[in-house]
Amino acid sequence: MSRLAFVLVVVAAACGGSATDSLTASSAALSTDRRAGLFAADAAHTAAIERLGPVDGVLQAMRGNAVYLAPGMDLVRGRHDIREALAAENPDPQHTQLSRTLAGGDVSADGNFGFTFGWLSRIAPDGAASYGAYVAVWEREDGEDFRITAYHSRSSIRRLPVRAGFPLLADGAGAGGVPHEGGMEEQRRSVAAADTAFAALSVAQGYSIAFPTYASDFMMVFGGNFVGLEGRQEIADAYAGWTPAEVLDWAPVHAGAAASGDLAYTVGTAVDSYTMPDGSVVKSWSKYLTLWARTADGAWRFVADGGSSSPAPAP
């Protein structure tokens, strides 16, 4: 079991001709405009990747303190170290073709924070094709361009379709996070505390309790593909199977949030420990990216959670 889940909250809108419905329609139109700006930033990043290649192109949109998550390596932070990681993944970037297809995402109420996700297609120098997925977290200062603050990518044997009509898709309703104004540091501490409490529940009662408790009403698991789950029963069924022999624990290392307090992310490290019948303990390490949406009562519920393997810590 590793931290690979993707969750989202959706808010239903009524139909009709009242003044309230007119305000709802205006709000929906504004949300669409904000998302269009974020999706344009994602499209520009894709164009840069196709023009500059899988190292310089991916790096172009990164903030100076961005975090990169890729299989088989520790969390990587900062443009210099991210460049080295991308170069290690792409030893012949001039002859490697990387393309992307946007699947969806959402943007905060203040328009300055959001996430996008989609599929990757890679043609290696020898002509071999492979597939995968990416998730990007974007932030910007008012009036400036969006830049990436966290980026996840992972390969897959083939591309699988996302569940039709899923709210996180580009034409869906979005995360539905409810704004809760506050200072940026307060927002970061708040979501990091939620992630820490989430981990504590997993250790105390098992992941079969923790994940459904902290999940939204629908969620998407992401790794090399995206799997949408809808309804409390589907989510509970997906995380069933925990036994006391297993302990899944994690800790947030980085956190960020919209100033409007409706969307946020955490990045951290995880360890899954399994006690064998002979008493020995087998451990596996991973890292994760979790996206969160705020509910009306102020609680954070994760809207997306995925990750990949990490090497064992140095002795």
Identity of the residue numbered 84? E
* The token pair that represents 91 in the structure block: 């030893």
Residue found by looking up tokens 């979501």 in the block: 191
pLDDT confidence of residue 162: 86
What pLDDT score does 265 carry?
Answer: 98
The per-residue pLDDT for range 15-55, each reduced to its tens digit, is 233 333 333 343 455 567 889 999 999 999 999 999 999 99
Tell me how many degrees the CA angle 68-70-75 measures, rounded to the nearest 5.
50
Query: Three-class SS of residue 28?
Result: helix
Where does residue 203 rank: exposed (0-12), middle (13-18), buried (19+ CB within 10 A)?
middle
Containing 304, the helix (H) or strand (E) segment is strand 300-310
What pTM did the predictor assign?
0.89
What is the structure's pLDDT at 143?
72
What dihedral do alpha carbons 270, 284, 229, 111 form, nearest 10°?
30
Q: Which of 174, 249, 274 is nearest to 216 (CA)?
A: 174
Long-range (24+ apart) CB contacts under 8 A made by 54-61 are 54/86, 54/89, 54/90, 54/93, 54/96, 54/98, 54/122, 55/83, 55/86, 55/87, 55/90, 55/93, 56/93, 57/98, 58/86, 58/98, 58/151, 59/83, 59/86, 61/136, 61/146, 61/147, 61/148
Report the alpha-carbon distance of residue 114 to residue 33 in Å, rounded: 13
Q: Which of 129, 232, 202, 216 is nearest to 173 (CA)?
A: 216
**Ranges under pLDDT 50 in the chain:** 1-27
Contact 102, 118 (CB under 8 A): yes
DSSP annotation of 169 reads B
How many beta carbons lie within 10 A of that of residue 43, not counting itself?
13
Q: Each residue of 199-211: pLDDT tens digit?
A: 999 999 999 999 9
